Amino acid sequence: MRNLITLLKPNWKQLAFGGLLGGLSLGAAVGLLAASAWLISMASTRPPILVLEVAIVAVRFFGLSRGTLKYAARITEHDAALKIQTSLRIKVYEEISKFMPATFVKLSRGNLLSQIINDVELVQDLWLRVFMPWLNALIAGVSGLGIIYYLLPSAGNALSLIFLAAIFLIPILASVISTPQNEREHEGELFSQIMQVAESANEALIFNFKDDLLIEMEIAQDAIAIAQEKSAKRVGYASAMHILLLGVASLTALYLAAKGYLDQELAGVNVAVIALLPLVIFEGISTLPAAFAQLSKILEAARNLEPYLENNSSQNTEVVSKSLAQEVTIDFHDVNPVIPDANCAPLTTTIRPGETLIIMGKSGSGKSSLINSLLGFTPFTGHIAINNEELGPKHEDLFSTLLQDDYLFATSIRENIRIGKPDATDIEIEKVLEIVELAELVKQLPQGLDTHVGPLGYNFSGGEKQRIKLARLLLRNTPVFILDEPFEFLDASQVARISKRIAGALAEKTVIIVSHLELDIPAKVITLVNSLN
Amino acid sequence: MRPIDPRLLRYSRSSRGFIFTTVVLAVLSAAATIAQAWLLASVITRFFTSQQSFSENKNAIIYLALVFALRAILAFAIDRISASASSRMRNELRRHVVVKTLDSGARDVQELGTAGLSVLITKGISDLDGYFSKFLPQLFIASIVPAAVGITIATQDWQAGLIVLATIPLIPIFGILIGRFTASATEKKWRSLGILSTYFLDLLSGLTTLKVYGRHKIQSTKLKEVGDAYRKETMGVLRVSFLSSLALELVATLSVALLAVSIGLRLVDGNIGLQTGLFILVIAPEVYWPIRQVAGYFHAAADGLVAFEKLFAILDRPVVNVGRKIEKISAITWSEISVEYPDRTAVHIPSGQISAGSIHVLVGPSGSGKSTLANILLGFIKPTSGEVILSTVNGDISHGEVNIEELRNQISWLPQEPKFPIGTVAQILRHAKPEATDFELIEVLAKVHLDIVDLPSGLRTPLGTLKQPLSIGQLRKIALARALLKDCQLLILDEPTASVDDVSESVISQILEEKAKAGVLVLLITHRLQMLSGASNVTDMAKLK
Ligand SMILES: Nc1ncnc2c1ncn2[C@@H]1O[C@H](COP(=O)(O)OP(=O)(O)OP(=O)(O)O)[C@@H](O)[C@H]1O
Ligand SMILES: [Mg+2]
């Protein structure tokens, strides 16, 4: 919770201002009723019209200000809430991206990811739908009770007690008194299931597991329905309690007003004011049951986001001075990635600038893990030295890497390629497209480089996607290039042509390629074997 | 975006009874509110003008208490019923939508993106809550209660009645005017929400890539830009739509103010009694309350309604599993096929044939249309021109005329980029053959050179979850094993050797030859020319280019 509140900081004034405006708007409703009740009571005593003048003006003033204030309040609050939401999203993103790489590699598109997205959406409701209405109701109540207290202190005291009971008990009844329903968890479940459905939809049709998917979804839905049923009941109780407390307040007000008038503590024209004010004072509370029914769910989401909001200071503090080496020699000495259930033979070799190392080996033999070790994603035994220095975070920027499961973003070709070099000009982009034989295709597209690649790159063929990723890598300028299965989905002649061109472009660099195809470029070839076999 | 869409009632049967019940409850609760106002007004009048004490009004007070009790019960009932009915209706709708989406494969994903579709089906349908549980019943209530209260007021005092009844029609007019204005803006806002959530998911999914490229920091600025754009879009919508609330609010409060003043002035003249005056004062807001609620809920519902249009685009799609049954297929022939993807030059596929007992190999450069042909045979896309004919024992049938669901039961497939649902290796393999024994599973994995001891938890190794313990090559082997396991008439393998180095071409050729001998039609897409030796048929896609 504390971290969530820290996020409020830049915007809390705006939020509070919105809350104040909203409260004043409800206050205007209180004023409207008080003034008109007084006006009508006074009028019935047939005074000279001048006596009523002030009340008439007040009635019109409150009548106008109520709506206007409310408009201003809603605009202010929503704007603030959306700003907070944006900072929340950014914060979550930034913290996740600070994680140790090994942690977020696992954070793929599974449950966890969808849960985070879902939670970020949910937390938004905390301010707008729960906290603000409560604050508004409180401000309105205080203003109404102030008037009552001013007119008749005994009624003020008694009604304050009832009001306080209502504004605290009703939310508690609606939110807290319930066994945890895990509605949020089930909703997250549903969301990730639907993501699964979405991604494996074609396979589901061929391998007939769409019924399995439907059943799973049905289970999550049923659980949500049960949770919602229970929360509906709680909302019902809380609403009923609201009306009952309103009744108690009304009857108390009637009793005290009658008594006050007979005891001559209260002017007759104010009887109606006191008797009717509870109606508006309690109006603001009427929306609270439905709002607070969501509270436990929202808080759960907030709690779930907590780890992503904390400043992991231990990782931030050490500022490493990055290595600026222009040429890099990599020494592997008895290197063995630590991966469970695998037994690779240790690797010992050296690659110098202008050299290429090709790593081959059966799938699962640890080729990608070796690369992950180099990138700091996977721990390893043995030593890796960069220009005779032990490999460390300072070397991060020396590498350009094509991951085996490199990701294409759902945006244009240009934006995707510019990940390699943010300020790349179209001419530079064209040059690398030329190398991977995509220039032709892109020229034919009506929107050229602005063509959207589609979600997960759907709008392009397997080999085309691979070549877009290659093009993006080639825009980089670092001493070391690491390519994991760069020529997947390309035919032999294309591989021959493209690999030669790439070898030419990276002639000066230190290059490591993982490939199962034999490549016809000058290189040192090492075949990894799983030492168990 | 119409306020009431008859299709809605069709897709959620539970909605009808629910609306009726809510309206009955609402009318009862309006009656209780009128009684409450009446009792309050009369008690206050007697206190003030006749200086009566509390106990002298015992009966009226007891009635008042009873009215509050009744209202409490009604409030309980309304909240409960509407919330649970709304939950039922949404679940019903969601079921329909998911069934339809599943029927059309990845089509919706391609259109909306993974996040877009997931947000639509979860949040989009949840947003309909405002529509189902609030707006819809309130619409009926708003058409009954204000008139009833207005008439009650008119019977007490015709001048006040006139003011009220004159202002009522103003409200829907305002509502309609501004509602028009909001509709397109809301559509825009929803679109940018789609972009926002897709963007966020995209960033998180591609975080490893960003990190490797050292670009993860820049993206927070982008995220802020996209978030700000969404905020501006949303605020634009809200400014307009809250304006309509403001208009309604003003009509409502001003006419209450107008009433109060006019009653006050006539009280001075002695033309009206205090009790009537107080009664009208208390009851007048109730005229506007339901209408204001409708307007308020409309904005909440508008979000849902935009999603609704998208949902209906999915729901109204015709059912796919009609068409002729197929028997044993002896050959598949395609001729003159071309496919036009939007904004692309057409992909032409040379004619060809796969016949039982033979292997058809498709070779050609990247982007020449190999996977496209596979997708056509699988029924995922329709060719723009040309024909695919299935020869069966009962004669030739055009591909478009067969019952596609049945045909798919007869096809097994290794996708170029396999995707798995969450499950264990065993579960995923059994999708291909539910009755397969563990032994069979191990055997088929061994066939593609995946040794069971290489899997961390054997057949129970989880796939598609966050702890993905397998390498990409191993995943492809599992997908290949899945494709080989299914009993089928047509086997389509899209690049079986990609990323897997030790399943040599000869191993796969041998397996495929066995399959072909058993009468299976085999379509193999590959770049490995070595695999051509055993093939009876080769189509080189490059030839047409
Ligand atoms: N959904 C789509 N929208 C637009 N264009 C598409 C879409 N799907 C495929 N294409 C285009 O159609 C052409 C053929 O694609 P297809 O996937 O059939 O190629 P392929 O022969 O399988 O290539 P690869 O060997 O690279 O997988 C490509 O140029 C591709 O960009
Ligand atoms: Mg393909």
> B495: CA distance to ligand 2 center in Å?
8
Binned at pLDDT 50, 70 and 90, residue A467 comes out as very high
Q: Looking at the structure, do residues A514 and A415 belong to the same domain, yes or no?
A: yes
Chain A positions touching B416 (Cβ under 8 A) are 462, 489
Residue A324 in any domain: the answer is: no
Mean pLDDT lowest for which of A85-94, A242-251, A411-420, B411-420? A85-94
Q: Looking at the structure, do residues A275 and A224 belong to the same domain, yes or no?
A: yes
Residue A69 has pLDDT above 90, yes or no: yes
Residue A280 in any domain: the answer is: yes
The highest-confidence range among A367-371, A434-438, B22-26, by mean pLDDT, is A434-438
> What is the DSSP pairing of strand B359-363 with strand A524-528?
unpaired
The CATH number for A453's domain is 3.40.50.300
Q: Looking at the structure, do residues A290 and A412 belong to the same domain, yes or no?
A: no
Ligand nearest to the CA of A462: 1
B67 and B32 Cβ atoms separated by less than 8 Å: yes
SS3 A197: helix
Residue B170 has pLDDT above 80, yes or no: no
Please count the structural domains in chain A.
2
Model pTM score: 0.80
For A208-239, how does the pLDDT look when each residue is reduced to its tens digit (9 = 90+)? 888 888 888 888 888 888 888 888 888 889 99
Computed over every residue of chain B, the mean pLDDT equals: 82
Average pLDDT (A461-476) is: 94
Q: Looking at the structure, do residues A287 and A374 belong to the same domain, yes or no?
A: no
Q: Looking at the structure, do residues A266 and A347 belong to the same domain, yes or no?
A: no
CA distance B256 to A186: 46
Q: Looking at the structure, do residues A363 and A485 belong to the same domain, yes or no?
A: yes
CA distance B193 to B363: 42
Mean pLDDT lowest for which of B67-81, B214-228, B339-353, B358-372? B214-228
Q: Looking at the structure, do residues A388 and A291 belong to the same domain, yes or no?
A: no
Which amino acid appears at position B233 of this protein? E
Ligand nearest to the CA of A458: 1
Tell me what pLDDT residue A312 has: 55
Residue B528 has pLDDT above 80, yes or no: no
The highest-confidence range among A193-202, B54-63, B455-464, B528-537, by mean pLDDT, is B54-63
Tell me what pLDDT residue A426 has: 92
> B75: CA distance to ligand 1 center in Å?
59
CA distance B250 to B256: 10
Mean pLDDT lowest for which of A15-24, A64-73, B237-246? B237-246
Q: Looking at the structure, do residues A61 and A189 belong to the same domain, yes or no?
A: yes
Tell me which residue has its CA closest to atom 2 in ligand 1: A459
Binned at pLDDT 50, 70 and 90, residue B474 comes out as confident
Tell me what pLDDT residue A109 has: 42
SS3 A515: coil
What's the token pair of residue B93?
């709708």
Tell me what pLDDT residue A27 has: 92
CA distance B280 to B262: 11
Contact pairs from chain A to chain B, CB under 8 Å: 500
Residue A319 in any domain: the answer is: no
For B10-40, how does the pLDDT look when each residue is reduced to its tens digit (9 = 90+)? 766 666 777 788 888 888 988 998 999 999 9
ipTM: 0.81
What are the boundaries of each domain within chain B? 6-184+241-315, 329-540
CA-nearest of B386, B387, B362, B330 to B537 is B362
Residue A300 in any domain: the answer is: yes
Residue span of the structural domain in which A274 resides: 2-309
Tell me what pLDDT residue A313 has: 46
Tell me what pLDDT residue B502 has: 58
Chain A positions touching B380 (Cβ under 8 A) are 202
Question: What is B6-184+241-315's CATH superfamily?
Answer: ABC transporter type 1, transmembrane domain (1.20.1560.10)
Residue A105 or residue B205, greater confidence:
B205
Tell me what pLDDT residue B190 has: 62
Which amino acid appears at position A450 of this protein? D
Q: Looking at the structure, do residues A68 and A37 belong to the same domain, yes or no?
A: yes
Mean pLDDT lowest for which of A1-15, A45-59, A158-172, B216-230? A1-15
Q: Looking at the structure, do residues A291 and A177 belong to the same domain, yes or no?
A: yes
CA distance A232 to B375: 47
What is the H or E stretch that residue A502 is in?
helix A492-505
CA-nearest of B325, B386, B328 to B355 is B328
Interface of B with A in 205-264 (CB under 8 A): 205-220, 223-224, 227-228, 230-231, 234-235, 238-239, 242-243, 245-246, 249-250, 252-254, 256-257, 260-261, 263-264
Binned at pLDDT 50, 70 and 90, residue A314 comes out as very low
For A91-135, how does the pLDDT look when each residue is reduced to its tens digit (9 = 90+)? 888 887 776 555 554 554 445 666 777 788 778 778 888 888 899
- Topology, domain B329-540: Rossmann fold (3.40.50)
The DSSP-derived string for A22-55 is: HHHHHHHHHHHHHHHHHHHHHHHT---HHHHHHH
Residue A317 in any domain: the answer is: no
Q: Where are the alpha helices (DSSP H) in B463-521?
A: 472-485, 505-517
Residue A69 in any domain: the answer is: yes
Tell me what pLDDT residue B221 has: 86
CA distance B29 to B37: 12
Residue B370 CB–ligand 1 contact under 6 Å: yes
CA-nearest of A444, A463, A432 to B541 is A463
User: A289 vs chain B: nearest CA distance in angstroms?
Assistant: 10
Residue B464 has pLDDT above 70, yes or no: no
Q: Looking at the structure, do residues A98 and A158 belong to the same domain, yes or no?
A: yes
Average pLDDT (B273-292) is: 86
Instruction: Look at A364 and B243 and tell me if their CB atoms are within 8 Å.
Output: no
User: A495 vs chain B: nearest CA distance in angstroms?
Assistant: 10
Computed over every residue of chain A, the mean pLDDT equals: 85
Tell me what pLDDT residue B114 has: 74
The DSSP-derived string for A87-150 is: HHHHHHHHHHHHS-HHHHHS-SSSHHHHHHHHHHHHHTHIIIIIIHHHHHHHHHHHHHHHHHHH
Percent of chain A residues past pLDDT 70, beyond the cut: 91
Mean pLDDT lowest for which of A401-410, B192-201, B309-318, B513-522? B192-201
What's the token pair of residue B39?
């009792």
Binned at pLDDT 50, 70 and 90, residue B62 comes out as very high
Tell me which residue has its CA closest to atom 24 in ligand 1: B366
A176 and A297 Cβ atoms separated by less than 8 Å: no
